[in-house]
A and B are shown apart, each in its own frame.
Chain A
Amino acid sequence: MKGGQMNWMRKLALTTALVVGVAGPIHAEEIKFGLLQDFTAVYTFVTGQYNQGQQDYLRLVNEEGGIGGNTFTAIVRDTGNQPQRGIEAYNRAKEEGAILFDFLSTPVSAAILDQAQSDKNVVITPAHGRGDASDGTVFPYVFPMMATYWAQAANLVEYMKQTGGLEGKKIAIVHIDSPFGREPGPILQALSEQEKFEFKAFPYASPGNEQSSAWSEVRRYRPDYVMIWGAGGGQAVSVRTAIQNGIRPEQIHSVIWLAETDAANVGPQMKGVKRFEATASGMDHPIIQRINEKVIAPGKGSGETANVGNSYYNLGVATMAVAVEAARLGAEGGATINGDALKAGFEKIAGYDAEGLMPAITITGADHQGGGAGRVSEWDGEKWVPVSEWHAAYPDLVRKVIEESASHYGK
């Protein structure tokens, strides 16, 4: 055990060796992804597991011989959610030859977006980041590539419609008081006009360790459905305080950021809570099985084995699966992989579902979201159980909101 642990640490360290910044000769067959994320500040709850999935998947691809002889290297660095350090990390990774970046942080992405676009480097913002970046005509190098927050909200609302109807019903949206928390506002507004339901937003102060006043108000609003829109420790507090205010777990619908760790924090009462998911969780998927067999079992995993197969881990795996697929398509015809080739590869992705781990996505030059499909799953006390099929909800409406918002960019 101890030896195994040493081994993965060394392997991991090798991956992060590039952090050193010794500019070696750039190997044509080595494709570098910059995973410059926030491990220490706001997004700690997800980054560790998400990044672990990303690194393990890239390792799996390398173990299986890479893509057409190309191997993949992850450049992993902490940005602490600070734009300052994000810019530094971006510049250094760029110098080292990274062509794809994942920041998993709204302020850092915002500070680098322009720079990356003019450098022609691909930025992926899976399941986070600005929704209007789905418009490939305005953001040519940015790929949300999974359901944006708007698509997530639409999916949850559609699920409510199917389970209990919407007309004349009331939805309470309880959100963290930040740009991220206010994100679903526009789409809910559009949906409420179309489906004739009523909704009201209840903000709570960041980081959300105390939300009693918001939930006292929610209870008196007597909502039929509740949406919680937060991240990290605040999510567990939301679920707890909701239940303490007499809201049934079945009424609670969460944004994608609600995971096994939060369930452990809330306890058995969380049974029945629903969340949007963009990727399946659990171990029963070909890719995860192969990771388990070829990466985890030989002790080459990049983190705690217990995390393998959980929601955020699988999300990380899926992001890299799409990126690697894009690299494969981009390299077709013998093109050298650079930012432009990778972008072209992304836009060639059609019907890719990472062997069933995620809904099939099709990315085009205009639609960088890839359709925005997802599904709703329910916590059964031990794991997430899907309660709806993979599909995109209200795609036209979501697209309209995206285009409208993108048209304001840069003005």
Chain B
Amino acid sequence: MFYRLSGTYHTSYRADRRLWKVPTDRWLVVALLVLGAFAPLYVSPLYLGSYVLPWVIWSAAALSLTLLMGLAGQLHFGFAAVMAIGAYASIHLTRAGIPFEISLLLSGLIAAVIGAVFGGAALRVKGLYLVMATLAMQYLVDWVVVNVPWISGGAHATLRTPAVSFLLLPLDSLAARYWLALGWAVLLTVFFMNVKRSSFGRALVAIRDKDFAAAVIGVDPFRTKLMAFFTSSFMGGVTGAILAFCFYRAVTPEQFGFNVSIQLVAMVLVGGLGSVIGSWLGAGFVLLAPIFLTNIISALAATGWVPVSQNFLSHLPLMIYGAMIIGFLLLEPLGLAKIYDNIRKYFLVWPFRHARS
């Protein structure tokens, strides 16, 4: 119906390699971009500031992580620590007088270098052991941040972000901060879609599927794994800086704790490993579903139909969050991306139930 395929012929390899081969997809992407770019005009500041903005930033974070976990198959349970490095580095660099644009890049590089050290463990172990090793590194980074006053900012451990501007656009209005975050997230999205088609992306996939086999066909596992950690940590570091400057505007170590790492992994898994649209959907779902579901149940409780205590009500988001992770893993391990894909395929061949065969 919506996805009219008639008249769409790919007459060259070039045309066949396009990102969006179906016109509807193309239009959809354009429409979403326009909607996203003009969001500050029609979304109330409440929704923009507390739902849309964090969603965009966490999507960027999920994209960074899914490059590592989805494409390269390297598990990482300490990604929040990488973001923390980016956030703290960017604040200290801008405070030292370096222009914001450059300090963003530098903080990404610092996070990438330290993140690649995390990757060192991946050269030796995989699977469960890699989970544990990255988890231990998360604790180490947390400890260093908390215990070195030079990093954390002393007794109260709160560092405020200085007022900055990005390419002459001062970041003091919500809209400006939103646009910067959106720009970064879109940039990551475009990068991600293209990296899948590059030789680097294919090397990552080869490593994910079987690193010994990849070595046999000439992909250097050592280099590729380190590159994967480096790239993903760079993306994560800049996202952490964006998170600090565009959303929190003050950083404390708690913002990047172990639970945040878990939340990121949950976003990636709920969305669907290695999927672009999955990262966006997963970030939105993990971030917003517990909030909205809790609101619905509180509303029901308010009417008096569902007798629950305050204590239960306040533990509800945690329960929903846990149940959601379990539910997705049991019912749709391929995540929201797969659900989207099923719906799209349904419309692709509608009114028929199956394509061709």
Do A and B interact directly, with beta carbons closer than 8 Å?
yes
Chain A contact residues, CB within 8 Å of chain B: 5-6, 9-10, 12-14, 16-17, 19-21, 39-40, 48, 51-52, 76-78, 80-85, 87-88, 91-92, 94-95, 106-107, 110-111, 113-115, 130, 177-179, 182-183, 185-186, 302-303, 405, 408, 410
Supply 16 A–B pairs (Cβ within 8 Å), ascending by A: A9-B301, A9-B308, A13-B298, A13-B302, A19-B299, A39-B310, A39-B311, A39-B315, A48-B310, A78-B317, A83-B252, A83-B255, A87-B50, A87-B247, A92-B50, A107-B255
Given A91-B50, A182-B155, CB of A80 within 8 Å of CB of B313: no
- Pick the contact of B255: A84, A179, A183 (CB < 8 A): A84
- Is B314 engaged at the interface, CB distance under 8 Å to the other chain? yes
Inter-subunit contact B315/A40 (CB<8 Å): yes
Bound Cα distance from A290 to B311, whole angstroms: 25
Min CB–CB distance A139 → chain B (angstroms): 12
The residue on B at minimum CB distance from A14 is: B302
Tell me the complex Cα distance, A154–B248, Å.
34
Decide: B301 and A110 in contact? CB cutoff 8 A. Answer: no
B136 at interface (Cβ–Cβ under 8 A)? no
The majority secondary structure among interface residues of chain A is helix
Contact at B156–A9, with CB atoms within 8 Å?
no
Contact of A78 with B314 in the complex, beta carbons under 8 Å: yes
How many Å from the CB of B172 to the closest CB on chain A? 10
Q: Is residue B194 within 8 Å, beta carbon to beta carbon, of the partner chain?
A: no
CB within 8 Å of A: which of B201-251? Answer: 247-250
A410: chain B residues at CB < 8 Å are: 160
SS of B interface (majority) = helix
Q: Please provide the 5 A-B residue pairs with the shortest distance between their CB atoms, ordered closest to farther.
A: A39-B314, A17-B302, A78-B314, A110-B158, A88-B50
Establish whether residues A76 and B318, one from each chain, have CB atoms under 8 Å apart when the complex forms. no
Chain A residue nearest to B318 (CB atoms) is A40
Interface assignment of B46: CB less than 8 Å from any CB of chain A: yes
Residues of B within 8 A of A78 (CB): 313-315, 317
- Give the tally of cross-chain contacts (CB within 8 A): 128
* In-complex Cβ contact of A111 among B46, B50, B255 (8 A): B255
Whether A16 pairs with B301 at a CB distance below 8 angstroms is yes
Determine the distance from Cα of A82 to Cα of B259 in the docked complex, in whole angstroms. 10
Q: Is B155 touching A186 in the complex (CB atoms < 8 A)?
A: yes
> How many angstroms between the C-alpha atoms of A106 and B157 in the bound complex?
10
Residue A40 contacts which of B308, B309, B314 (CB distance < 8 angstroms)?
Answer: B314
List residues of chain A with CB within 8 A of the CB of B294.
19
Instruction: For A52, list chain B residues within 8 Å (CB).
Output: 310
The minimal Cβ–Cβ distance linking B79 to chain A, given in whole angstroms, is: 15
Nearest A residue to B53 by beta-carbon distance?
A87
Q: Which A residues are CB-close (under 8 A) to B50?
A: 87-88, 91-92
Across the interface, do A20 and B155 meet the contact criterion of CB distance under 8 Å? no
Shortest beta-carbon distance from A180 to chain B in Å: 10
Within 8 A of A (CB), among B32-53: 44-46, 49-51
Q: Is B146 an interface residue (CB 8 A)?
A: yes
CA distance A9 to B308 in the complex (A): 7
A179 touches B317 (CB 8 A): no
Which of A51, A82, A115, A303 is the one whose CB lies under 8 Å from B254? A82
